[in-house]
DNA sequence: GTCCCTATACTCGGATAGCAAGTGTCCGAGTATAGGCGG
DNA sequence: CCGCCTATACTCGGACACTTGCTATCCGAGTATAGGGAC
């Protein structure tokens, strides 16, 4: 029961993309380099974000990834669902209907109380993640990061963007 | 990102054990038979509940499993933690410190905002599960289950207990 | 000088191996019981 | 008739294969660009 690593990567990538100048795009390889993660595998997560409509990709020489909609309209939950898929944590297999005490048809209780509690808890989790959006994260990061780190990041980004014409 | 099947089994087993008469125990094989699940594997989950101090086991001929403390003192969260382990869903690998924009030592921001949001959401999930205890579930199940199903379950249980002397 | 064409280099995208964790199973160690035996 | 001893059958507990899904990687399809050539 752990989120895949792609969730962390996808979230950080979304934040970085939110800080790009309008119209700019960043290739998967550069995003991987910036985060120090294996490039080809990060591409897999980015493709998932693509399918979910969170980021948009441009092919070709000056192509790359950019946010598909305003950062304020992208929640952490969107990113998690895109990477992990939207299936529930808890899957109820109705084991109460399988043993010697099972009865046929609709004579069972209407709902499994255990599953209901599990899904309710999961809903709380989703609500909390839905309340955080990428723009907010980017703003907090921009304010909280020490000047020296911010300068390094901006220098790197400028160089990358300049080298792309 | 899915809970293992053992969580469902463990929770249902706890509820069944909560309905036993005082002093009675049920072997793993019987619990598996009741739920229609593979016996030897269920034992694995029961051992996890044992290590967590949720159930107690008695060896020997009339041995088996019983709750180690009152059902009202066992929450769903206890069961989930016992089976899944208490490690967090989200593990922050601090990828912001790994790229070309990283700075050494303590010059980084104090906390990763993404990780903080993830852990906050997880806390909501845990709070919700901690608010549900096994006694409550057992009561709701006992009230809600149709008479015919309840009769079958009680008949099975009586037979099992009788066959154990 | 301007327009068009072509070759290029770069991008994404899906298809392909490797590995860890969950899933499923088994057999050995230990104990309470039941029956038999001796007093 | 009562107490003790032994054999038994049943229980748990940990050690051993197998499958699914995550991790990591590669190469092919497609496109915007840059340069060169023709008009």
Name the CA dihedral angle for B144, B24, B39, A116, rounded to a multiple of 10 degrees: 30
Residue A57 CA and nucleotide C4 C1' are separated, in Å, by 28
Minimal Cβ distance to B117: which of A110, A129, A145: A129
Contact call for residues B90 and B61 (beta carbons, < 8 A) = no
Contact call for residues A15 and A134 (beta carbons, < 8 A) = yes
CA B108 to centroid of chain Cα atoms: 39
Alpha-carbon distance B118 to A14, whole Å? 15
pLDDT digits (tens, 9 = 90+) for B56-65: 999 998 899 9
pLDDT in the model for residue A47: 97
Instruction: Determine the protein residue whose CA lies at the shortest distance from the C1' of C21.
Output: A1
pTM for this prediction:
0.93
Nearest C-alpha in B relative to A143: B109
pLDDT digits (tens, 9 = 90+) for B23-78: 899 999 999 999 999 999 999 999 999 999 999 999 998 899 999 999 999 999 99
């Amino acid at each position: 029961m752990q989120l895949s690593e792609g969730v962390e990567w996808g979230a950080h990538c979304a934040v970085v993309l939110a800080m790009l100048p309008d119209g700019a795009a960043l290739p998967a390889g550069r995003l991987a380099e910036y985060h120090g993660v294996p490039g080809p595998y990060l591409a897999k997560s980015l493709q998932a974000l693509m399918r979910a409509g969170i980021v948009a990709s441009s092919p070709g020489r000056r192509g790359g990834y950019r946010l598909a909609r305003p950062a304020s309209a992208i929640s952490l939950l969107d990113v998690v669902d895109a990477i992990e898929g939207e299936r529930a944590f808890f899957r109820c297999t109705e084991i109460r209907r399988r043993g010697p005490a099972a009865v046929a048809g609709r004579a069972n209780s209407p709902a499994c109380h255990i599953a209901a509690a599990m899904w309710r808890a999961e809903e709380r989790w989703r609500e909390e993640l839905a309340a955080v959006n990428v723009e907010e994260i980017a703003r907090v990061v921009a304010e909280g990061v020490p000047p020296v780190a911010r300068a390094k990041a901006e220098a790197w980004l400028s160089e990358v963007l300049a080298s792309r014409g």
